[in-house]
Structure 1
């Protein structure tokens, strides 16, 4: 059990501010009259003391309070440009930000949870004892903002007033970080006191980039205090490490849902999107996928896109599962974003009228951004994440330097995208989720789409995601188990998180009509691994519309499916109609390659997962029961049909 407010509050100890009167004295010293007047509108004393402690610890020259007004947001934009953190590009509203070459992805080996003695943690999490974290903060953070301006913003992780939304404070000396926050989160300065009271808590984030030099990066740390729901980030600027409203606070939300909202809420690494079905009905999906596994593409395929990264979910009073996007914007990977696969996003990136912060892409001599996989003619030269670039440039490692970093990003408002369901996205009631999907990067085992036969099997699909490491993580290599695509963000014991999954999806509070179907998706089967003479992937981006379209029909009982030990598989004739709808031929031979059950591969995967989870303590027995049943059924079918089973044999 996670115990909040346990152990010394590091921010308070280092800052030394314990009372509201002491906090007001700090404000009088460091804030000019205009910013004192703005901050006076916040009455939450705990929040004010936190802010005062951040000021006292970091020692900035001045403090700017961001109320979210047009004037304040423009001040932040101009400040970031003045500091050189961003530079204007040719298109109005577009800027470029370059992170240091050593700081262009999540610093996984320098990211730690701050824990108390004896706390149980996820086996996939890195932790630091409170005493060690205190020593780091005492060494590196006092006066870290000397000569700089500290900016303070107040945000809501979700539509204001939503059941699962939690307010947060973002404190930073980086104009780029605050500019990004304004695109990605809802400024709730005017409602902060009310929201903190409704939620019963708020998160606090303190970021200081220091001098932003390569020499500093080894000292960079991203520290997340679970008990005090406070993050510290130093000596880095990449938004995944600094804009801690995102993954830092997502971790706190996972903790809070797991230990304080058991059976009521989940905090997930999921997209939210809607599909329009027959008769114009809207069916909303929430789906998990590790970075680089098609998550944003899947989200954008929806006719009613809401979010591409995170979801806060809860069971509503009417028995439906509801979801909100904690963000209002997109911090999206741009590699392979192109007209064919991402037309709506490309309209924003290449059209007029959208504010976009680019990071770590190539900027040509005309101040136009370019990136790998954009489907356009590449320039001969420009400036990118490593400095001057030209075609054929070789890096220090002897390898060609790509035009853009694999983790280069675009940051923009989601509402700028043509298929964004802005009204639903901003509705505190949330979107009613009827389909849950889990995806990984799997070249040889699972089919493109399958549906769990029951809720326990659905939870196990999420628990069984595997993926190769991607460019979003510095220092990660090889093939990873990625439970729920949320494993890097689960602070507590995996068993506790898994219990929360089984409890919610089997809850009696979910009505029969409100209980979602749970499915697996896999876009990465290859010809080479399925007995084909072809090469490369068995599918392409446009196929995603078919897999989601079939799930939409299945969720409403409009199509039947073939029952197998791993779940329900689509019939060929139903998929053929959907492929006809996207004007693509779908031969029966391709269906067989994609949906034939490779029993030995699946059993091997089950054995690997069983062994891995057996090393964890207190894993729910339901997981092992599902694995055992599926394996027994698969082996019986193997005796009857052999190791490769065409799915029509099971009809």
Structure 2
């Protein structure tokens, strides 16, 4: 795919500004803050683009860029909807690449823990500054030859909020330019907030295909998978991503900035950057509580954030579906949270009008769909939409294969990690305070994963330390968002295994340390499991909108209602304390804690945590593990 020039008007070519010998086709480089100019000049010299383009995030800009991408074949309009587009990536560029994602610090163990000898650490990958320099020197010099270097000023969180942070991304992908406009707050106002030399996160991204391309470009999707590498420098607050145009590998405001780099900033500044949704629940009495919840990717986090309650009198509103930045208010002690993102980048397969009607309604306009199927009438399609799409409908799959629904069950329309990218403001249940610069007060924190056996529907932690332990031992079936395949149960502590930008043991200790400040009003911590199976591999709990029944119980526990019994693994609901009207539920199986299972599970947890973290595993967690062992031994 050749590069695209995107001038706003021909007048820009009458008096073109230059940086060195490189023309600036849009924007005023000299008006940028001096420290931004210095960094950009270095990036221009490194990447040698043919032109520089400074984004302003405007609708006019988006319209022009979109038209150019349609003309060039990277985007196709989905004419069934308003301003929606579909694209298909090179099949080699479809997921996060955790094995090629590195943290770079002078001291190895400020990035990764002291794992035991013989244990392969999966809690981060470290590379020395010297070694990474050699790797990057074979990638970035000249990587944008023949292409336009785009400058994207963006805020994570509402512009100007004391809880927000600013980034500037350089990229040679127009797909990234459009997607960052949806996922972050792109605005020339950003420059004003950097006018006095304020810190910003430096984000450099290239698809890694200088022009003319040495290899054929598949699906008009330039990428360089053999050389893909995503590198984080937590100390200077910098990200460098090469070779991939997909999602979190290229939209650097997402996992790279909002979790890995922000997590390190949060440790330094005393707050939390977490892989969590934020939602509010209002009960029939009109009482509203805000909840944050962490689940590994593709475990229903977006579904929960946009839940449609199945029992009357409850209202759910969404603040965010993926990432939460949380800080204890120094005056009130409340834990206040913002959603640093401006859009949803959700997994499409499995999303439908039953599982998540609000997500479907959100993405019916102004959205980009990646690696999904397309119906003959120019609509989107993916696995999970069978009940909403007539049999016999012709579908073009993400790989370009045409087939008719229902004729061949082996055909798949979409990649398992296919995505929709849409503005959060369009969500029918978006909270009126979702952009409140002061954040919303969090009353409860929930962790959960796919646990097909042994783990009860809901557990309340005994205290803060026990809650941090519950988060530390979080496990789930692996998902399509990562490189791993098969349904193996994997450890994913805090649902942050791929996303912590510093030593994971220090990260757990950071959580524990919040108890030391008596001013902090610590939320209650819970663990949920919607995915327990019976002996016939059928779900014991219906999930989806019926999860409001569990959330209601959690709110009642936040209010200290006497609806819980102490068990060896935490506080469990008293029988009859969860509203089961209209459901056929085997309560005993759903809440049971089999001694053999839990005895083996806690031993495996200790072995894994000790192997991964070694001496960096906080003593408080070791103590919690021993307490749980002792409690389980008392089970009948």
Q: Same fold (TM over 0.5)?
A: yes
Q: 1:612 aligns with which of 604, 608, 612?
A: 608
How has the CA–CA distance of structure 1 residues 468 and 114 changed in structure 2, closer, same or farther, with 3 Å as cutoff? same
**Contact 1:209–1:237, Cα closer than 8 Å, also in 2:** no
Q: 1:525 aligns with which of 525, 528, 532?
A: 532
Query: Whose helix proportion is higher, 1 or 2?
Result: 1
Q: 2:505 aligns with which of 495, 503, 509?
A: 495
Q: Distance in 1 between matches of 2:603 and 2:407?
A: 43
Question: 1:626 is matched with which residue?
Answer: 624
**Contact 1:527–1:538, Cα closer than 8 Å, also in 2:** no
Question: 2:305 is matched with which residue?
Answer: 299
Q: Distance in 1 between matches of 2:604 and 2:24?
A: 60
Q: Distance in 2 between matches of 1:60 and 1:393?
A: 48
Give per-residue Cα distances to partners, 1:388-435, cap 9 Å, x unaligned. 23259999xxx94412111111000111011101x3111110010001
Residue 441 of structure 1 pairs with residue 447 of structure 2: no
SS in 2 for 1:56: helix
Equivalences for 1:238-277 in 2 at 5 Å? 238-249=246-257, 250-258=259-267, 260-261=268-269, 264-277=270-283
Report deviation, 1:469: 1.7
Q: Distance in 2 between matches of 1:601 and 1:222?
A: 39
Report deviation, 1:25: 9.3
More displaced stretch, 195-204 vs 436-445: 195-204
SS in 2 for 1:575: coil
Give per-residue Cα distances to partners, 1:303-342, cap 9 Å, x unaligned. 1201111111111121100111110110000111111121
SS in 2 for 1:327: coil
**Contact 2:172–2:205, Cα closer than 8 Å, also in 1:** no
Give per-residue Cα distances to partners, 1:508-539, cap 9 Å, x unaligned. 231xxx321100011110012xxxx6734543
Question: 2:400 is matched with which residue?
Answer: 387
Q: 1:29 aligns with which of 18, 21, 35?
A: 21
SS in 2 for 1:435: strand
Question: 2:286 is matched with which residue?
Answer: 280
CA RMSD of aligned residues (A): 2.5
Q: Whose relative contact order is higher, 1 or 2, with alpha carbons under 8 Å and at least 6 apart?
A: 2
Equivalences for 1:482-631 in 2 at 5 Å? 482-510=492-520, 514-528=521-535, 535-576=538-579, 579-580=580-581, 584-587=582-585, 590-615=586-611, 616-631=614-629
**Contact 1:167–1:203, Cα closer than 8 Å, also in 2:** no
More displaced stretch, 226-235 vs 599-608: 226-235
How has the CA–CA distance of structure 1 residues 333 and 453 changed in structure 2, closer, same or farther, with 3 Å as cutoff? same
SS in 2 for 1:437: strand
Question: 1:340 is matched with which residue?
Answer: 354
Equivalences for 1:290-369 in 2 at 5 Å? 290-301=296-307, 303-317=316-330, 318-349=332-363, 351=364, 354-369=365-380
Question: 2:117 is matched with which residue?
Answer: none
Report deviation, 1:128: 2.4
Q: Distance in 2 between matches of 1:633 and 1:140?
A: 54
Report deviation, 1:585: 2.2
Q: Distance in 2 between matches of 1:357 and 1:238?
A: 13
Q: 2:86 aligns with which of 96, 114, 117?
A: 96
SS in 1 for 2:155: strand
**Contact 1:310–1:326, Cα closer than 8 Å, also in 2:** yes
Residue 416 of structure 1 pairs with residue 422 of structure 2: no
Q: 2:68 aligns with which of 76, 79, 84?
A: 79
The count of aligned residue pairs is 588
**Structure 1 unaligned spans of 5+:** 1-23, 643-651
Q: Distance in 1 between matches of 2:157 and 2:194?
A: 11
Report deviation, 1:605: 1.4
SS in 2 for 1:100: coil
More displaced stretch, 76-85 vs 148-157: 76-85
**Contact 1:456–1:622, Cα closer than 8 Å, also in 2:** yes
Q: Distance in 1 between matches of 2:166 and 2:450?
A: 34
SS in 1 for 2:601: helix
Q: Distance in 2 between matches of 1:549 and 1:41?
A: 53
Equivalences for 1:402-413 in 2 at 5 Å? 402-413=412-423
Question: 1:230 is matched with which residue?
Answer: 238
TM-score, scaled relative to structure 1: 0.85
Q: Distance in 2 between matches of 1:585 and 1:436?
A: 26
Q: Distance in 2 between matches of 1:41 and 1:76?
A: 23
More displaced stretch, 621-630 vs 501-510: 501-510
SS in 2 for 1:162: coil
**Contact 2:335–2:442, Cα closer than 8 Å, also in 1:** yes
Q: Distance in 2 between matches of 1:287 and 1:534?
A: 26
Equivalences for 1:401-480 in 2 at 5 Å? 401-421=411-431, 423-475=432-484, 478-480=488-490
More displaced stretch, 377-386 vs 610-619: 377-386
**Contact 1:167–1:192, Cα closer than 8 Å, also in 2:** no
Q: Distance in 2 between matches of 1:199 and 1:282?
A: 37
Report deviation, 1:181: 0.5
SS in 2 for 1:467: strand
**Contact 2:564–2:574, Cα closer than 8 Å, also in 1:** yes
Question: 1:372 is matched with which residue?
Answer: 383
Q: Distance in 2 between matches of 1:433 and 1:94?
A: 34
Q: Distance in 2 between matches of 1:62 and 1:461?
A: 51
Question: 2:145 is matched with which residue?
Answer: 146
Q: Distance in 2 between matches of 1:338 and 1:96?
A: 18
SS in 1 for 2:319: strand
Q: Distance in 2 between matches of 1:163 and 1:32?
A: 33
How has the CA–CA distance of structure 1 residues 334 and 534 changed in structure 2, closer, same or farther, with 3 Å as cutoff? closer
SS in 2 for 1:106: coil
How has the CA–CA distance of structure 1 residues 26 and 32 changed in structure 2, closer, same or farther, with 3 Å as cutoff? closer
Q: Distance in 1 between matches of 2:44 and 2:198?
A: 25
How has the CA–CA distance of structure 1 residues 277 and 195 changed in structure 2, closer, same or farther, with 3 Å as cutoff? farther
How has the CA–CA distance of structure 1 residues 494 and 534 changed in structure 2, closer, same or farther, with 3 Å as cutoff? closer
SS in 2 for 1:609: helix
**Contact 2:566–2:572, Cα closer than 8 Å, also in 1:** yes
How has the CA–CA distance of structure 1 residues 572 and 119 changed in structure 2, closer, same or farther, with 3 Å as cutoff? closer
Q: Distance in 1 between matches of 2:18 and 2:129?
A: 26
Q: Distance in 1 between matches of 2:282 and 2:621?
A: 34
Q: Distance in 2 between matches of 1:393 and 1:237?
A: 33
Give per-residue Cα distances to partners, 1:22-73, cap 9 Å, x unaligned. xx996263234752x2x34422x22221211221111111111112233233
**Contact 1:121–1:493, Cα closer than 8 Å, also in 2:** yes
Q: Distance in 2 between matches of 1:303 and 1:553?
A: 16
Residue 129 of structure 1 pairs with residue 128 of structure 2: yes
**Contact 1:109–1:475, Cα closer than 8 Å, also in 2:** no
SS in 1 for 2:302: helix
Report deviation, 1:491: 2.6
